[in-house]
A and B are shown apart, each in its own frame.
Chain A
Amino acid sequence: MTWRSARVVGLRDETATARTIALAVRDWPGHIAGQHVDVRLTAPDGYSAVRSYSIASGPNSDGRIEITVERLANGEVSPYLTTELMVGDDLELRGPIGGWFVWHRDQTEPIQLVAGGSGIVPLMAMIRSRALAGSSAPFRLLYSVREPGAVFYRDELWALSDRDHSVIVTYAYTRVTPKDSPRPPGRIDATLIATGTWPWNLNPTSYVCGPTSFVENATDLLIAVGHGRKNIRTERFGATGERK
């Protein structure tokens, strides 16, 4: 797998701490929704640092991909990508990587997506891939965020679920809810799983992505209401998310 040069062709703030970076990648071979790339930064003295980021965009043939990067307070790479990087800069990446946490456009079964925070990124690639492919696979997204201001891709998710009623989006706010929210803030629980996800007897495939404690909780709840563990795929990221 070779390192490719990639030019920053667009920057878009998703939230106060997260930014989407559009990249034109030389000889990009294409990707499947859910895959990630390795990004390499190199300092003038040759020191380099590499991190993996999920691809946010759906597969296309124009050699462009988007990643969305959340700034970590003590990060080495994410502060650079979210504050320093400018349109026209070049960086290096390789990929696409990963063959497990992916959605193929020929999958027709109901899909349950469960996102915790920036775990939305690879799941958004699946939602976008579905739209690009003209797929009619029924999609449902349960998206857990700290507060309304922390939602990524807000307008696009709204427009998609408004236009296409087979993409159903349910938000779960853990700290602060919007004024009209019927549910008090809190993490995903059995009630929300019962009302905000496909019933197990539709045999959905579930993709769960977020910090470890979020993924552990969400998958345990899905299994408790009857989902087969073989139909649940997970991707855990970042710091442990374990309470210290």
Chain B
Amino acid sequence: MAIISRGFAGRRSAAEAKLPPGQYLTSDFPVLSAGPTPHISLDRWEFTIDDGSNVLKRWDWKSFRELPTETITVDIHCVTRWSKLGTSWEGVSLDVLLADVKTDLSYAMFRSYGDYTTNLPMKDVINKQAWIAFKFDGADLAPEHGGPARLLVPHLYLWKSAKWVKGMTLMPHDKPGFWENLGYHIYGDPWLEQRYSDQ
């Protein structure tokens, strides 16, 4: 039974009704990062896919940008409770990157410059659900928002959309990444409000 807060009315809007539980709308684009923002030059940038022992695919910036891109308009939800509706990105679908990777491994650990990691089931990465995004609102992605390129997995809390992403390691079993080791949920579905590991 909730405690009623004397004199609290709150604010409600029609847009608010579209949000996952416990989220509020923002028109800003707040930033959540555990450490300093890495500044990565494009001539050193690369993205690799490996299976834990062998590198299966590798792109440098030039070959990555020659891949077909998509414009993505999605709502994003941060575990710190803000949501932003209708954000516009440009990126390369993971379906493109994984097109000729033959694997029966069911999970992936995404790795970032700055040593951030986050884990995802492969079923959440394929079928038009995840992108490596390099533009936001038509402009190059700013470093504090994950530029030059970040993962975008909008159906999960935004910490899964690893900034400064540099690769993915395919794994047979699920394993917690950085925030998942620090008390956050292993999967992170905003509609089920999977914020914390011990909820």
Contact = CB atoms under 8 A, between A and B. Distances in A.
Binding between chains A and B: yes
Interface residues of A, number: 43
Interface in A210-244: 212, 216, 219-220, 222-223, 229-230, 232-234, 236-240, 242
Given A229-B36, A240-B30, A89 B5 contact: yes
Interface in B14-59: 22, 24, 26, 28-38
Interface stretch (A36-44, A56-64, A191-199): A36-44
Contacts of A80: 5, 7-8
A232 B34 CA distance: 9
B70 to A, nearest CB: 26
Q: Contact residue range for chain B?
A: 35 or more
Interface string A74-87: 00100010001000
B2 A239 contact: no
Given A1-B196, A41-B5, A47 B34 contact: no
B10 interface: yes
Given A43-B10, A84-B6, 20 more contacts: A40-B2, A41-B5, A42-B2, A43-B5, A47-B10, A49-B24, A52-B80, A52-B81, A76-B11, A80-B8, A84-B8, A100-B34, A100-B179, A100-B182, A223-B36, A229-B35, A237-B30, A239-B28, A239-B30, A242-B28
Interface of A: 1, 5, 40-44, 46-52, 76, 80, 84, 89-92, 97-101, 212, 216, 219-220, 222-223, 229-230, 232-234, 236-240, 242
